[in-house]
Structure formats: C-alpha cells, structure tokens
C-alpha cells in the first residue's frame, strides 16, 4: 500500500496529493503540466517534497525527518524511451536490474521474465539491433529483474506507433495481473488508460485526487478532458462469438452485452464503451424493439443538467450507468430515485478495440 499526503511547490506550481493505493495499475491522468511527473519523481525519491509524507507498506520513505534515497526504495522505473545501456547486450541489461540487490533478495528468474516478455530470443543482441517495441519490452524486463515493490511507468508507450503499442500492452497487462506489484502509470492516451487502469488518479492544476471505480470514473474524467463523448465504461469478458450475426457477446456484472463482432479471443477481459447518446430509458420490459442490449437496474440519482436534458444514474447490479432523458420523459415516466428502469442500446464496442484486435490476431 502506497500512502501519500504531500504539498510541494516548485516555482509558481504547487502539487497537492492525498491518497492511498493498493495493488493493480493506477493511471495518472491529467493535462500537460498538471503535475504527474512531479508526483512520480516524489514517489521515486528524485524530489523531496516540501511537506507531507510518503509511506509504502508501513515504511516511511519521506516525511519531515526521513528521506530514503531512490535505491533504498526498491522501485522499478520505466521511462518513455527505454534508456537501455547501448554497450550491453539484452541479457546484460536485464542482469543490470538486479545488480544493486543483495543475492538473497533476488527473487526474479531471468528465464521467466524473458519468456513473459517474449524476449528470450533476443538475449545476445545489443539495443541498436532491436526494434522500438523490443527495446521497451527489455526495459520492462530490466525493471522487473530488480524485484521491485513498486513499478513507475512514465508514458512508457508514447514514443511507439500504435502497432507497437498494441504489441506491448498485453505484456503490461500480464505484469499487472501476474506480479502483484502496484504500478503507477502516467499516460495521456485514453485508449491505454481505458484498457489498463484498475484505479485512477486525476490531476487538475496540481491537485491530485483518487477517483472511485475506474470503469465508472474514467468516462466522466475523459469526457471532461474533451477526449471522449459522454458515456459509460463497463468491465466485461468476451464470452462468445456469433459470426453469422456479426456479433460478439461479453459478460459483465451489469448483464450480458452484445458487441459488434470482434476477433478478440474468448476469455479476454475488455472494457466496453456505451455512449450516453445511445441509451434509451424504459420503465417496463418492452417487446418489439431492435435494441439488442437491455440492462436492468434502479435509479440512484436524478440530476438536472440545466439544459434540456436530465442526467440519470442507474445502478445495474453494482455497475453505475449514466443516461440522459428530457424533462418531459422524466415527468411522463415518473422517474425518481429507487425506481426500477431498463437501459436499452444497440450493439456497442470495446473501448480500445483496435489495440485488442491487433494483439489477438
């Protein structure tokens, strides 16, 4: 668990953060200059905050009297460009990761990491003979070889084109799911964050705040940043393909979802995006409609949007969904908190479908 309460000024800029994080991948998301890298550097021990504390698993890394240097924090750091040592081979770069560790604390096995990252055939090469994506996988491997307790990734994919990104994302997912090491991940990419984040910290002019469940919060945050239309993310798992109908079915806590046909493998965890503009609200089960998706739940909030629309929040078996109706519909359907409703929409898509599709063939 990373616990952080800090106040730090640099020039005209002030960073304020107060949150705690557990396992999984926490995306740090915010406009340029909002303080993401400053926060990462404070956690890494590259900047000493003016006030406050940083603790990890009960150990104080930084407070008024303690300041642990970076190498005592057991952190793996992956930068935008891999920063491999050009004169060392891949295997030497990987071994470098564990060099600073006492032998007794070297937990990671080079073969396991090389095979996890698909770099076992590259071990004898030097970085100049690797593609950008291969370099970045080696950089991930080097960070893992240090048996880190925490991984920091500052825009690790931003220098790569979308094809290479798609190749590396599944490896980052495997690290997230198989290593049990918390990851702080800085990114400007809606697609990456939508696909990877299990929790989310947003940055607004130096104010860093943890938000609720990422699938629910992501849509709001990304809409506010202008990157997405208003909508809902739903965590789901690919369950079946119906090629004859051009459909794929996914399972989610809210209920089954029918997607436009994708080639993503059954069992893959995906995040689905349902735009608010696609959702029709009904108070009764209606027959004779072409909408393939129907989620049932009850209204938990009704918020007048001051325009023509009213925003509804619906709890569908624990998944909060946002929908919009006009004031007239609100009146006619007598919508109020507690009322059971059904949300109807046509087929939907995976949030970052291009990235899933390229990786799963």
The three-state secondary structure class of 329 is: helix
CB of 11 to ligand ATP, least distance (A): 3
Q: Which long-range contacts (CB under 8 A, 24 or more apart) does 101-110 make?
A: 101/146, 101/147, 105/147, 106/147, 107/147, 108/144, 108/145, 108/146, 108/147, 110/145
Judged by CB, which is closer to ligand ATP: 10, or 332?
10
CB of 175 to ligand ATP, least distance (A): 22
The three-state secondary structure class of 360 is: helix
Q: At what angle do helices 132-145 and 162-178 cross, to 10 degrees?
A: 20
| Distance linking the first and last C-alpha atoms of the chain | 37
Question: With binding defined as CB under 6 A, does residue 156 bind ligand ATP?
Answer: no
CB 281 within 8 A of CB 329: yes
Residue among 38, 62, 136, 202 that touches ligand ATP (CB under 6 A): 38
Residue among 23, 37, 101, 269 that touches ligand ATP (CB under 6 A): 37
Per CB under 6 A, which region of 8-16, 49-57, 284-292, 328-336 contacts ligand ATP? Answer: 8-16
What are the structure tokens assigned to 355, written together? 């990235």
CB of 14 to ligand ATP, least distance (A): 9
Contact string (CB under 6 A) for ligand ATP, positions 200-219, x = contact: ---x----------------
Contact string (CB under 6 A) for ligand ATP, positions 9-28, x = contact: -xx-x---------------
Strands (E) in 66-186, as ranges, are 75-78, 150-154, 183-186
Could you tell me how many residues of this chain bind ligand ATP (CB under 6 A)?
Answer: 12
Question: With binding defined as CB under 6 A, does residue 46 bind ligand ATP?
Answer: no
Q: What angle is formed at CA 160 by the lines to CA 158 and CA 162, rounded to 5 degrees?
A: 100
Judged by CB, which is closer to ligand ATP: 30, or 148?
30
Question: With binding defined as CB under 6 A, does residue 34 bind ligand ATP?
Answer: yes
Binding site for ligand ATP (CB under 6 A): 10-11, 13, 30, 32-38, 203
């Amino acid at each position: 668990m990373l616990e952080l309460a800090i106040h730090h000024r640099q020039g005209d800029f002030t960073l304020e953060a107060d949150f705690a994080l557990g396992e999984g991948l926490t995306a740090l998301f915010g406009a340029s200059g909002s303080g993401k890298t400053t926060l990462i550097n404070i956690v890494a021990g590259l900047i000493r905050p003016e006030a406050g504390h940083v603790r990890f698993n009960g150990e104080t890394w930084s407070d008024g009297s303690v300041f642990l240097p970076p190498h005592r924090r057991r952190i793996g750091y992956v930068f935008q460009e891999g920063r491999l040592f050009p004169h060392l081979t891949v295997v030497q770069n990987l071994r470098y990761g564990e060099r600073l560790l006492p032998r007794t604390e070297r937990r990671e096995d080079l073969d396991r990491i090389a095979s996890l990252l698909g770099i076992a055939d590259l071990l004898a090469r030097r970085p100049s003979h690797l593609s950008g994506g291969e370099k970045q996988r080696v950089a991930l491997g080097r960070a893992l070889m240090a048996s880190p307790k925490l991984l920091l990734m500052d825009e690790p994919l931003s220098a790569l084109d979308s094809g290479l990104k798609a190749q590396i994302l599944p490896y980052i997912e495997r690290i997230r799911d198989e290593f049990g090491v918390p990851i702080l991940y800085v990114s400007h990419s809606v697609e990456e964050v939508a696909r990877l984040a299990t929790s989310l910290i947003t940055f607004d002019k130096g104010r860093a705040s943890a938000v609720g469940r990422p699938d629910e919060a992501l849509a709001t945050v990304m809409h506010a940043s202008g990157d997405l239309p208003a909508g809902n993310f739903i965590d789901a798992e690919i369950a079946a393909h119906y090629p004859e109908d051009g459909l794929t079915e996914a399972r989610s806590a809210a209920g089954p979802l029918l997607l436009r046909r994708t080639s993503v493998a059954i069992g893959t965890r995906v995040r689905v995006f349902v735009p608010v503009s696609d959702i029709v609200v009904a108070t009764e089960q209606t027959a004779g409609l072409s909408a393939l998706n129907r989620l049932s739940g009850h209204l938990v909030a009704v918020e007048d949007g001051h325009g023509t629309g009213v925003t509804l929040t619906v709890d569908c078996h624990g998944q909060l969904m946002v929908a919009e109706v006009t004031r007239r519909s609100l009146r006619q359907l007598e919508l109020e908190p507690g009322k059971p409703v059904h949300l109807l929409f046509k087929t939907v898509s995976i949030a970052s479908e291009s990235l899933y599709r390229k990786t799963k063939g």
